[in-house]
Amino acid sequence: MNVTFRQLKVFEAVARHLSYTLAARELHLSQPAVSMQIKQLEENTGIALFEQLGKQTYLTEAGREMYHYSRAIAKQLEEASEVLEHLKGVHRGRLDISVASTANYFSTRLLAVFARRYPGTSFSLDVTNRETLLLQLQENEKDMVIMGKPPEGMELMAEDFMENPLVVVAPPDHPLAGKKGIPLDTLQNETFVVREPGSGTFIAMERFFAEHSVSLSTGMQMTSNEAIKQAVEAGLGLGIVSIHTLELELEARRLVVLDVQAFPILRHWYVVHRKGKRLSPVAQAFRRFVLDEAKNLLLQTRQSSWAQLTGC
């Protein structure tokens, strides 16, 4: 197969946008130049990679396979160029990270501090749930990920840097609000608004209640912490969320944390990358920064949230 890097780069952009026009714009090429590269690539591979139905461009099955490999090759080239930049003594670069939806509540604050310290760097931040993060790690799509503890058996380097307590939240006028030491099985009489099954929060919650032989009535599933908090505020049920998501609601007394026995569910945050990955200089600096400084930087916020939680 006689394929050039240039063809792969153009293919990757067209496949990502499913549009010749958008790919041409991104690559600063004309549309005929993009079409020509794709045509040559299809000739070289001997198989159609795109199909045109009406105005819409689709990947063929071969195209989807090719996309998988072209993304990995693009990422490796990016890594190589970062490493070479460093060898040339150029301290700038791009950090491509993904964080769990729940970690987004503090990740942007960390990036802001990091960006001030390393003004030459730029970032791409993807916010998604645990299931997708694991896929991204598997596909080597990201430099690094911030998430709950990854499963054993994947070739990952995961380093713990901070606690992540999950708590039960209710609207302030809920009959259980303000009660001390609520027995866990009282929750069986309540309806819960919960995160989607691919989320770390949901998985931890399920494991916790199974371990305590308590069965919950989960009324609604929602894919964001914001939606859960609003649903709880609106009286649709109780919620289980990370304390990191609650800063504003606790301050404004829009939600309260219930004092349930055996709570909080104590999880931890990890900075994770693939074992053996050649981290670029900027990725190495970010990993060190998170491990050494994230906890203290965010401590102030956590302390005020915990003060609200305990009512003192």
Instruction: Give the span between the Cα atoms of 304 and 248, in whole angstroms.
Output: 11
- Interface with ligand PGA, residue 130, by CB under 6 A: yes
| Binding region for ligand PGA (CB under 6 A) out of 95-103, 112-120, 214-222, 295-303 | 95-103
| Binding region for ligand PGA (CB under 6 A) out of 4-12, 97-105, 117-125, 136-144 | 97-105
- Interface with ligand PGA, residue 100, by CB under 6 A: yes
Element (H, E) at 197: none
Give the footprint of ligand PGA on residues 250-279 (CB under 6 A): 267
- Interface with ligand PGA, residue 199, by CB under 6 A: yes
Instruction: Give the span between the Cα atoms of 290 and 6, in whole angstroms.
Output: 36
| Binding region for ligand PGA (CB under 6 A) out of 32-40, 72-80, 99-107, 272-280 | 99-107
Q: Is the dihedral of CA 207, 211, 213, 214 positive or negative?
A: negative
Among 129, 136, 280, 308, which residue sits at the site for ligand PGA (rule: CB under 6 A)? 129
Whether residue 90 contacts residue 62, with contact meaning beta carbons closer than 8 Å, is answered with no
| Residue nearer to ligand PGA on the CB measure, 40 or 224 | 224
Full DSSP string of 41-57: HHHHHTS--EEEETTEE
- Interface with ligand PGA, residue 243, by CB under 6 A: no
Among 7, 19, 70, 201, which residue sits at the site for ligand PGA (rule: CB under 6 A)? 201
Whether residue 142 contacts residue 136, with contact meaning beta carbons closer than 8 Å, is answered with yes
| Residue nearer to ligand PGA on the CB measure, 130 or 287 | 130
| Residue nearer to ligand PGA on the CB measure, 147 or 298 | 147
| Residue nearer to ligand PGA on the CB measure, 147 or 243 | 147
Contacts of 200 (CB under 8 A, 6+ apart): 100, 102, 129, 130, 147, 148, 267
| Binding region for ligand PGA (CB under 6 A) out of 59-67, 100-108, 186-194, 205-213 | 100-108
Contacts of 238 (CB under 8 A, 6+ apart): 168, 169, 170, 174, 187, 190, 191, 192, 193, 232, 258
| Residue nearer to ligand PGA on the CB measure, 15 or 111 | 111
Instruction: Give the span between the Cα atoms of 304 and 311, in whole angstroms.
Output: 10
Least CB distance to ligand PGA at residue 102 (A): 4
Burial of 2 (0-12, 13-18, 19+ CB in 10 A): exposed
- Interface with ligand PGA, residue 195, by CB under 6 A: yes
Helix (H/G/I), strand (E/B), else coil: 224: coil
| Binding region for ligand PGA (CB under 6 A) out of 21-29, 96-104, 112-120, 185-193 | 96-104
Among 23, 49, 142, 148, which residue sits at the site for ligand PGA (rule: CB under 6 A)? 148
Q: Exposed e or buried b for every residue in 212-249, given b needs 16+ CB within 10 A?
A: eeeebebeeebebbeebbbbbbeebbbbbbbbbbbbeb
| Binding region for ligand PGA (CB under 6 A) out of 9-17, 36-44, 85-93, 192-200 | 192-200
Which residues would be at the binding site for ligand PGA (CB under 6 A)? Answer: 100-102, 129-130, 147-148, 164, 195, 199-201, 267
